[in-house]
Structure 1
């Protein structure tokens, strides 16, 4: 099926509001889902409506939660999402994060008590659009085994970073500290495809290429002990540090409902002009020289494929499997 971006957005809003979600929440989520579909991040596009509706129907999410914004200090903004989805809470706190970073140099946005399902690059890209450097991290459910183990402890624990580049797309990376995003394994299961060895182990701790067995076992970190250490850091920074749940806490809070994880998120913004001082322009030039040296070797910058997909989608719309389209139509009540 081929849809325009406007049609993707409307389908997202219609599906969520049909299932009882307040319109301001639905629009915030639909913007992020549309961005994922636009950039060919299929596991974070329209597919995510299925898990959103599941969380709504199981009564886990507060459908009309009003995010409460608190200025903790001149550099720290806290938003209590009230056990609603995270996107509206981020939208409500972003302006203060940007203002604080622009005036102070370094600022933090803490989002607590939120259901978070999306990629993190939409958050950090919006920070980069303001000329700031962005860093975001969040835990999830305890689906991932530590290096040397076979039982889940960590979440997929993504982190994202964005570096502003005036006049062109920012330098952005966004990756899970697991070997693959859980959504990718779920998409393999839906398609009846095997997953690569090294992504997960089964319930007995043995390596597996079966997606269903992986979902019932434990995912693995990328890079062995290095990914495991980063996953632990994100548990601490995006959970314990900000007074919110670790992935294990979130799993217990879920009480077997198996819905989108509930926890917190930490977003940091840095002002390169204040931090770089008189050498800020030189720093920007050094960054561009590094990017040029990467591309000169035929290597891609992170997110380059996304940006290329974005240009295609803005002109031609997006494609999605007919089966997925029909599943979402059924959820939307159309």
Structure 2
């Protein structure tokens, strides 16, 4: 028997959606989770893809996500969309508000989506990428429970506090950047810990604050901000955007994403910019410049992900059999 299962995008989404429904999600919330999870796998970001879905399924069963929550959407100003996720998923609030956000960006040149009281969002680049698919430039920031320490602190004070950026290129291509304020995403360390693997030096400290290469010890301790004070400054900027402006929990106050029955209540900040407001040549100029950089040996992030998504849409995905069986088993007992 093959160790993998070949599934179309629709088939993979159906498996994920069914599991979320059985764990207590509404149709809308289950669909939003399934689409985001499969999209991450389709672009090669498996750490926050289908393998990461079990974190959401456990949270649904144990009360950290209210699967029936209906986000409250307000538009206090024409270019501001403010969402209270009400302890639900981050994805559903964005799904319900995205059309309003896109319309506002096209009308006013710039618009902001600000969400509070949500579970963590997984792949942050997913939200920026969706706006680039609409022809918009996007900047996204999110926070979560504290997982990362910085120089001068004796404990974790921030989440990995990532930033994502996307800009459209002609023909559906895009520049897409998604990176944490730590050397890597926490999901990758958590996955390595589950496999008993080592991690590189400089990624984390153990519970005593000593450097460690054990993923299991890193999970008990904290990740480290990349670049010392510079990474810490970026984490603080993200915290102010994602928690300060949105009204979400600061990372210091956010409950765990893996224990208890309370939502972490985290924030998601997404800014959308209409490039045509500055002239009609943006995407062509960016394409030319990206080509010049590539010719000089510079890696322009995002373009391989677009190709991977297209290939996955046409050819489907190969998913580990044990993972499919694990997802299908959720909620059946």
Could you tell me how far apart the structure 2 residues matched to 1:306 and 1:254 are?
28
Could you tell me how far apart the structure 2 residues matched to 1:320 and 1:190 are?
18
Partner residue, 1:257: 260
Cα shift at 1:242: 2.0
Structure 2 residue runs of 5 or longer lacking an equivalent are none
Partner residue, 1:216: 220
Partner residue, 1:271: 274
Residues 1:11 and 1:260: Cα distance change in structure 2 (over 3 Å) = farther
Partner residue, 1:138: 142
Residue pair 1:200, 1:209 contacting (<8 A) in 2 also: yes
Partner residue, 2:163: 159
Select 2:175's aligned residue among 156, 171, 175: 171
Select 2:130's aligned residue among 114, 126, 130: 126
Could you tell me how far apart the structure 2 residues matched to 1:135 and 1:326 are?
36
Q: How many residues align?
A: 329
- Please state whether the residue corresponding to 1:333 is helix, strand or coil: coil
C-alpha deviations, 1:153-199, integer Å up to 9, x for none? 01011111111113131111111111111110111112222111111
C-alpha deviations, 1:53-79, integer Å up to 9, x for none? 111121222221111211111111112
Select 1:248's aligned residue among 239, 245, 252: 252
**When the two structures are superposed, what TM-score results if normalisation uses the length of structure 2?**
0.93
Partner residue, 1:18: 22
Residue pair 1:13, 1:27 contacting (<8 A) in 2 also: yes
Give the 5 Å matches for 1:94-113: 94-113=98-117
Greater shift after overlay, 198-207 or 319-328?
Answer: 319-328
Q: Does 1:293 align with 2:289?
A: no
Select 1:59's aligned residue among 63, 79, 86: 63
Could you tell me how far apart the structure 2 residues matched to 1:56 and 1:286 are?
45
Q: Does 1:50 align with 2:54?
A: yes
Could you tell me how far apart the structure 2 residues matched to 1:44 and 1:106 are?
29
Residues 1:137 and 1:303: Cα distance change in structure 2 (over 3 Å) = same
Greater shift after overlay, 143-152 or 317-326?
Answer: 317-326
- Please state whether the residue corresponding to 1:51 is helix, strand or coil: helix
Give the 5 Å matches for 1:217-232: 217-232=221-236
C-alpha deviations, 1:57-107, integer Å up to 9, x for none? 212222211112111111111121111111111011111111111111111
Q: Does 1:189 align with 2:188?
A: no
Residue pair 2:198, 2:215 contacting (<8 A) in 1 also: yes
Residues 1:64 and 1:174: Cα distance change in structure 2 (over 3 Å) = same
Residue pair 2:137, 2:274 contacting (<8 A) in 1 also: yes
Residue pair 2:63, 2:263 contacting (<8 A) in 1 also: no
Q: Does 1:78 align with 2:82?
A: yes
Could you tell me how far apart the structure 2 residues matched to 1:282 and 1:27 are?
36
Q: Does 1:328 align with 2:327?
A: yes
Q: Does 1:92 align with 2:96?
A: yes
Could you tell me how far apart the structure 1 residues matched to 2:263 and 2:307 are?
29
Could you tell me how far apart the structure 1 residues matched to 2:238 and 2:261 are?
22
Cα shift at 1:140: 0.8
Residues 1:206 and 1:88: Cα distance change in structure 2 (over 3 Å) = same
**When the two structures are superposed, what TM-score results if normalisation uses the length of structure 1?**
0.92
C-alpha deviations, 1:263-321, integer Å up to 9, x for none? 121111111121x1xxx235444322320122112333112332343243233322233
Provide runs of 4+ in structure 1 moved above 6 Å.
Answer: none
Could you tell me how far apart the structure 2 residues matched to 1:112 and 1:6 are?
30
- Please state whether the residue corresponding to 1:47 is helix, strand or coil: helix
